[in-house]
Structure 1
Amino acid sequence: MRMNHEHNPDEELRKPSTLEAVQQLGQTGVASGGESDIFCMTIIGQIEGHTVLPPQNKTTKYEHMIPQLVAAEQNPKIQGLLIILNTVGGDVEAGLAIAEMIASLTKPTVTVVIGGGHSIGVPIAVAANYSFIASSATMTIHPIRMSGLVIGVPQTFEYMEKMQERVVRFVTDHSRISDQQFKDLMFKTGELNRDIGTSVSGADAVKYGLMDEVGGIGQALARLNGMIGDRKSLDAGGLTQ
């Protein structure tokens, strides 16, 4: 006896395949499913903002990141977030939006910089509760730049100055680096060809107070699991009182 199974297109929309998740979001699972209580998010390539970048560019789209962060925050099965960065930077406002989202999460968060966490990747790297950087990784700190047509009027320069101050304030509020130290690195000359700024190695990033510790995935997961355990203990203590 042959049974007819009708194809339900809505079922595919509700349950994205692993391949689709990798293609669209760069990850093997989404925050709404999976057995692990840790949600791993990757921020790689160039952070794409309001302008769509050419198809040959490896990008992280902020319109993909924000709903995933919301889903992870809402999902009771997700106990903590691990954010892995290897980015050259990109759109300033999109990067700050992602950083603000990470910083506002109530669940434990840990970032790991592997390869590089450059430019607007710096605020994202420091946004978590605890941050690691690989010993071979670097972070480039430089003033913000604008691409395309720039109108040479005072308002444009005032806008850039305010935007830069937003970046400085966020980084100094979410790390141990001082305002003056960060600006000194930002405007330092001679470190980069035809540019101003500083390329900071993993150990130096920790020395300056920008990142918390030199380490990789193993140390990051151990730290995150410890933070999750501490939070569970506090919640349990609150229930027994």
Structure 2
Amino acid sequence: MHRHNEVSVRQETEPGEKPEVQQPMPGDKPDVTDMIQQLGQTAVPTPGESNIYCLTIIGQIEGHLVLPPQNKTTKYEHLIPQLVAAEQNPKIEGLLIILNTVGGDVEAGLAIAEMIASLTKPTVTVVIGGGHSIGVPIAVASNYSLIAESATMTIHPIRMTGLVIGVPQTFEYIEKMQERVVRFVTSHSNITEQTFKELMFKTGELNRDIGTSVGGNDAVKYGLIDGVGGIGEGLLQLNSLIDSRRKTAQGGPKQ
């Protein structure tokens, strides 16, 4: 009996023997997979190697109503906690926001734009592909905005979907909401209110529609976007803003 125990111990501690590896249980998913499925991100802002957090806004911006499952959407209730986490994380020094959106819910888009504008950390937006409709306020909400040369931004009046009551109050509500968008865009970019409204109400530019589709170079010419560029230029600009913020925090010269 005693020898049998010795043999058992010797077998368990045999040199060169591979330790038993515990296999994952069926259905187990890594945290990264959950993040990709839920937020479209590989990670939320947590202490890590990079001091820059990349936020993507793609597809249609989903507001108070859930869109069909086949629609590629960005849910504003997912972006809000990410922006709050990035703001309060001391390891994150700047945010790079990538846009390729067709627009979407007006109030949800304005909420995202206001949150980006209210961040104390440096922010740079890069429009890749398109920054249409309510994506325009989001694109200009950062400290510095860039647009790819081939990208476009569609500027048009606000649309209403669903039940619309045909009374003056309804149209007054639409007009006030539209003024909120105009006021935000003109206060966070170099475009004038007159030019922006001319682009918004222009006819003949869009087939069977009202508004204007603005290309990359034209967006810069109108003063809507700060410069033409992509990811590389965006990171260079963001790092420059971060360096300026560091110098200011250390009591250096203010720009």
Question: Would you say same fold, with TM above 0.5?
Answer: yes
Equivalent in the alignment of 2:218: 204
Q: Could you tell me the percent identity over the aligned residues?
A: 78
Aligned mate of 2:193, from 176, 179, 183: 179
2:149 aligns with one of 125, 129, 135: 135
Residue identity opposite 1:200 in structure 2: V
SS of the residue aligned with 2:70?
coil
Q: Distance in 1 between matches of 2:48 and 2:41?
A: 12
Counterpart for residue 69 of structure 2: 55
Give the match for residue 229 of structure 1.
Answer: 243
- Name the TM-score, length of structure 2 as normaliser: 0.87
Letter in 2 for 1:203: N
| Partner residue, 1:21 | 35
Distance 1:112 1:19 in 2: 26
Q: Which has the larger radius of gyration?
A: 2
Aligned to 2:7: none
Partners of 1:170 and 1:234 in 2: how far apart?
Answer: 27
Structure 2 unmatched ranges of 5 or more: 1-11, 13-18
**Counterparts of 1:95 and 1:32 in 2: how far apart (Å)?**
25
Give a deviation string over 1:43-84, Cα, whole Å, max 9, x none.
000000000000000000000000100000000000000000
Paired residue total: 230
* Residue of structure 2 in register with 1:163 after alignment: 177
TM-score by length of 1: 0.92
Q: Which amino acid aligns with 1:95?
A: G
Instruction: Please state if 1:100 is matched with 2:114.
Output: yes
* Residue 116 (structure 1) shift: 0.1
SS of the aligned residue for 2:251 comes to: helix
Letter in 1 for 2:34: E
List aligned pairs for 1:112-151, cutoff 5 A.
112-151=126-165
Residue among 85, 88, 92 paired with 1:78:
92
In structure 1, runs of 5+ residues without a counterpart are none
Runs of 4+ with >3 A deviation: none
- In 1, Cα distance between equivalents of 2:57 and 2:203: 28
Q: Distance in 2 between matches of 1:24 and 1:213?
A: 32
In the alignment, what sits opposite 1:191? 205
CA distance in 2, matches of 1:34, 1:48: 29
What's 2:79 paired with?
65
